[in-house]
Structure 1
Amino acid sequence: MTQYDVDVLVIGTGPGGEGAAMQAVKQGLRTAVVERFHRVGGGCTHWGTIPSKALRFAIFQLLEVNSNRLLRDAGYNLELTFPQLRRSAENVIQLQEDMRRGFYDKNDARLIHGEAKFIDPHTVEISDARGLVEKITAAHVVLAVGARPYRPPDIDFKHPRIFDSDTILNLPATPKTITVYGAGVVGCEYASMFRNLGCKINLVNTRQQLLEFLDDEICDALSYHLRETGVLIRHGEAYEKVEGLSDGVVLHLKSGKKLKTDILLWANGRTGNTDRLGLESVGLKADSRGQLAVDESYRTSTPNIYAVGDVTGYPALASAAYMQGRAAVLHINGDECASLLAKDIPTGIYTSPEISSIGKSERELTTEGVPYEVGHAQFKSLARAQITGRRVGMLKLLFHRETLQVLGVHCFGVNAAEIIHIGQAIMMQPPPHNTLMYFINTTFNYPTMAEAYRVAALNGYNRLF
């Protein structure tokens, strides 16, 4: 039998890599982890999820102070620049990095900083910043290399007024006007943040609907709310060229429109970080966006090599990546529950207000011919929302008309990404405990946002008669 240096070699320390590495260690597998950045945590920790969500919270706090009537009457009015708000994330990033580095130290997973490249399916060459090269052999390899913003070659991203979702965090000042090209999750989140800072926003959508993978009613609610706050949404557009000037950026659209703003944020797609891995040495080929195809156990076409997280494409969520990493290692270890771990993952979209959903949408249930009914709870009717002044939003339950099984939960409003987990917990229960009756027969604290589940359940149940 061939002797390898390690049982599992994980490339990348983002959520997918961390999930894979920790699962491997807990199962007694000899594990090593490679990270090309000099800090651990991947893009999620350093220039993606954590800094952007910390920035969002800082903007939210600023908005809270300046919109509070009591504070306004007392003469308080805060004016903070984008860099000042951005600095609030530094402490969070450091705390996250320290914690994650501790995971590897405490679990005796060897952490190697350097650039990884395949020599063959079981051998990886690692080059560090000093030029030192080390070769490691592994029985299995898990690729958790993540993704970066897609950059079309005809756009000058070196121009000081043209940004992508990584570089926007280094914005030197608060702009007055912004064009966001791309209305996916990243584009909508940043459009919300900058609008809350008082910037005028053009949100250019290459499709006909915002976030069309969501339930249609949630898509409509987001569109309405963004427009209500002053965001100008342009659907079905495509760029012709991007012209960087000394005093702004002009986005030329194929429709003939020209949009000039202080800066441009390019938020149209991502590319997997696979171009320097030497995939040709192991018989793998990424698609045009650098992504790798995997089966339901996250195994590539080369049997001992797995891929998890953003490098595999949709859903490209940190939460999903972590569970995918675990699932891959469970499969390596021969555990049959691997394919169950990464199913029914909730979406968490940090627009203002938040969006979160799990399960089927109305569109999907209609296409599948499932007899379903809908229950709504409008946040404006909830005492807790009235007390806090956060009355925009709703909770929507989709359930089977005959069995009352909960089929989908969709939430738009404050704390949606937290609220969704109550519905998720019930959906995951075996029959008959996964039905609408749980919410009808359960006592919820009052006043709370969680009470929305009882309100929505009763609203839907009443539609059956």
Structure 2
Amino acid sequence: MTSQHDLASTFAVPSLAILGGGPGGYEAAMVAASLGASVTVIERAGLGGSAVLTDVVPSKTLIATADTMTRMVDASDLGVKFDVDGTDCQPLMRADLKQVNERVLELAREQSADIRAALERLGVKIIIGNGRMLDNRTIEVDRGETSEIVKADAILLAVGAHPRELATAQPDGERILNWAQIYNLQELPKELIVVGSGVTGAEFASAYNGLGSKVTLISSRDQVLPGEDTDAAQVLEDVFERRGMTVLSRSRAESVERTDDGVVVTLSDGRTVTGTHCLVCVGSIPNTTDIGLEAAGVALTPSGHIKVDGVSRTSMHNVYAAGDCTGIFALASVAAMQGRIAVAHLLGDGVNPLKLTQVSSNIFTSPEIASVGVSEADVASGRYQGDVVKLSLNTNARAKMRNLKDGFVKIIAHKGSGTVIGGVVVGAGASELIFPIALAISQKLHVDDVANTFTVYPSLTGSISEAARRLHVHQ
């Protein structure tokens, strides 16, 4: 059997130019370089792309601080007391947002530097500048005062996306903000209005609520997190309400204007909402304009995303694409997988096409919401035949010990065969707890396989085992 190491010496390994240094780009670069390819990465901002510099790493670092404060609010239920000068008065917590954001951005810079160092150790050439394709084998890089031509046998496009803006709600970086600008704040917003209740909006609303802001979340849909598990969205809405957040459902923001000391958001029905700051989270736009796609013969979808097949190949045989610019799933893990698949296909290594039913995702609200595979809505619509069991975490001994009051485990098994095909976890650490369910799906395990695997007692994973046990069919 030929090993990966032997692959480079057995075949002529093509050179690869990667436009974009985010997860799709840098993961592909690492794999290609390890297989002996000559790799050049062209990145305009810094290694890691927006995922590391302005999106995933900063937002989840901010959320970690908010989670700490949220846990401390409930600490008294566990018998933890905070004394001030010998009294039993509980001191008020406050978030030093300047320090929080300095830490957020410093961690992002450190992560970016670590990625760059790892690529350089593998011999990857890195060029900082704006790249534009001249044809399907040539990229011109604008480096400011100079330019450079990069030629390669194949090109991977990992150009990402940027925040979508509303013409009537233009960010100014001070009072009206998008998700890339919010880390510039030096003081905690007293009253934060979040426009958009998708993943990004819900995460920031949850985080700033935990940090101490009075938050109003404007949602154009019937529920927060439209498209997500309905039970999970309901748990989150209940938690938001309990923690003092205002959720305006079926409300569409028409405009956001700055006032002398804050902002005013006008809704489509004429109502107005006032606050000190507004964060606009209304989706993203792929960075596919003015990068020479037409000259290279790369086709786009009507939404402006790059068309790709299951192995990340575009309409040009030697041009691949990965990440948010493809419009598949806006997840760093998917971008990285797309990049790795592209390299495997290019270099003739063993390749498995992207399987969206195996993609785990997590929403880093408090509580977290993680999901994988087939949804309950898929079962209800008849797309899949399945049995569903939902088990509340309020019966879990470990959850009680940790004072975790909100959440559940939901497992979906294929009707008849009993194979695990989907799952949802809502609760603290759901991003970690979803892994055994994802593993069961990818390996086509039976619910009995999950149920009969030992778990630690007490543990939150015990509820995963118990939910699987309740899906057992007597033989």
TM-score by length of 2: 0.90
The separation in 2 between residues aligned to 1:280 and 1:253, in whole angstroms, is: 39
Amino acid at match of 1:308: A
Is contact 2:299-2:315 (8 Å) kept?
no
The separation in 2 between residues aligned to 1:168 and 1:278, in whole angstroms, is: 31
The residue aligned with 2:155 is 141
Cα shift at 1:455? 1.8
1:236 correspondence with 2:236: no
The residue aligned with 2:469 is 458
1:372-431 C-alpha deviation (Å, 9 max, x unpaired) = 22222221111111111123111111112321111111011100010000111112224x
1:43 correspondence with 2:50: yes
The residue aligned with 1:195 is 209
Structure 1 segments of 4 or more deviating over 4 A?
285-290, 340-343
The residue aligned with 1:115 is 130
The residue aligned with 2:3 is none
Cα shift at 1:151? 1.5
Alignment equivalent of 2:104, drawn from 76, 89, 96: 89
Which stretch shows the higher mean deviation, 417-426 or 203-212?
203-212
The residue aligned with 2:34 is 26
1:125 correspondence with 2:140: yes
1:99 correspondence with 2:106: no
The residue aligned with 2:374 is 360
The separation in 1 between residues aligned to 2:406 and 2:383, in whole angstroms, is: 32
1:64-117 C-alpha deviation (Å, 9 max, x unpaired) = 335422554423543232222222324432432232112211111111111101
SS across alignment from 1:118: strand
1:212 correspondence with 2:206: no
The residue aligned with 1:16 is 24
Does the C-alpha gap of structure 1 residues 153 and 256 become closer, same or farther in structure 2, counting only changes over 3 Å? closer
Cα shift at 1:262? 0.8
Amino acid at match of 1:204: I
1:55 correspondence with 2:70: no
The separation in 1 between residues aligned to 2:251 and 2:302, in whole angstroms, is: 22
Query: Where do 5+ consecutive residues of structure 1 fail to align?
Result: none
TM-score by length of 1: 0.92
Does the C-alpha gap of structure 1 residues 56 and 110 become closer, same or farther in structure 2, counting only changes over 3 Å? same
Instruction: Map residues 383-394 of structure 1 onto 2, 5 A cutoff.
Output: 383-394=397-408
Does the C-alpha gap of structure 1 residues 23 and 380 become closer, same or farther in structure 2, counting only changes over 3 Å? same
Alignment equivalent of 1:399, drawn from 405, 408, 413: 413
The separation in 1 between residues aligned to 2:463 and 2:80, in whole angstroms, is: 30
Is contact 1:379-1:393 (8 Å) kept?
yes
Does the C-alpha gap of structure 1 residues 305 and 101 become closer, same or farther in structure 2, counting only changes over 3 Å? same
SS across alignment from 1:25: helix
Alignment equivalent of 2:453, drawn from 438, 442, 459: 442
The residue aligned with 2:313 is 299
The separation in 2 between residues aligned to 1:71 and 1:170, in whole angstroms, is: 34
The separation in 2 between residues aligned to 1:210 and 1:60, in whole angstroms, is: 20
Cα shift at 1:146? 1.0
SS across alignment from 2:152: strand
Does the C-alpha gap of structure 1 residues 339 and 442 become closer, same or farther in structure 2, counting only changes over 3 Å? same
The separation in 2 between residues aligned to 1:381 and 1:406, in whole angstroms, is: 23
1:98-151 C-alpha deviation (Å, 9 max, x unpaired) = 32112211111111111101111111111214x111101111111111111012
1:339 correspondence with 2:347: no
Which stretch shows the higher mean deviation, 98-107 or 352-361?
98-107
The residue aligned with 1:282 is 296
SS across alignment from 2:320: strand
Alignment equivalent of 2:426, drawn from 401, 409, 412: 412
Amino acid at match of 2:371: S
Is contact 1:376-1:455 (8 Å) kept?
no
1:68 correspondence with 2:68: no
Number of aligned positions between the proteins: 456
Is contact 1:380-1:393 (8 Å) kept?
yes
SS across alignment from 1:134: strand
Cα shift at 1:59? 1.8
SS across alignment from 1:453: helix
Amino acid at match of 2:464: Y
Is contact 1:346-1:358 (8 Å) kept?
yes
The separation in 2 between residues aligned to 1:371 and 1:42, in whole angstroms, is: 40
The separation in 2 between residues aligned to 1:191 and 1:288, in whole angstroms, is: 31
The separation in 2 between residues aligned to 1:266 and 1:245, in whole angstroms, is: 16
Which stretch shows the higher mean deviation, 374-383 or 209-218?
209-218
1:166 correspondence with 2:180: yes
CA RMSD across the alignment? 2.3
Amino acid at match of 1:406: V
SS across alignment from 1:461: coil
SS across alignment from 1:444: coil
Which stretch shows the higher mean deviation, 198-207 or 323-332?
198-207
Is contact 1:394-1:413 (8 Å) kept?
yes
The residue aligned with 1:378 is 392
Amino acid at match of 1:74: D
1:80 correspondence with 2:88: no
1:24-62 C-alpha deviation (Å, 9 max, x unpaired) = 11222211111111x321111111111111111112223
Does the C-alpha gap of structure 1 residues 326 and 412 become closer, same or farther in structure 2, counting only changes over 3 Å? same
The separation in 1 between residues aligned to 2:466 and 2:352, in whole angstroms, is: 36
Percent of aligned pairs with the same amino acid: 30
Is contact 2:311-2:354 (8 Å) kept?
no
Which stretch shows the higher mean deviation, 434-443 or 355-364?
434-443
The separation in 1 between residues aligned to 2:214 and 2:95, in whole angstroms, is: 17
The separation in 2 between residues aligned to 1:407 and 1:380, in whole angstroms, is: 25
Which stretch shows the higher mean deviation, 182-191 or 167-176?
167-176
The separation in 2 between residues aligned to 1:209 and 1:460, in whole angstroms, is: 29
1:151-171 C-alpha deviation (Å, 9 max, x unpaired) = 233433226210000001111
